[in-house]
Amino acid sequence: MELSIGEMALIAVAIVVLFGPDKLPQIARDLGTGVRKMRGAVEDIKTEIMKETDNPVSEIKREIEKVKDAAKDFNPMKDAQNDILADSKTSNESPNPKTSEDENYEGPVSR
The Cα 75–Cα 78 span in angstroms is 5
Looking at residue 102, its pLDDT comes to: 66
What are the tens digits of pLDDT across the range 57-66? 777 888 899 8
Residues of the chain with pLDDT under 50: none
The Cα 6–Cα 8 span in angstroms is 5
Looking at residue 37, its pLDDT comes to: 96
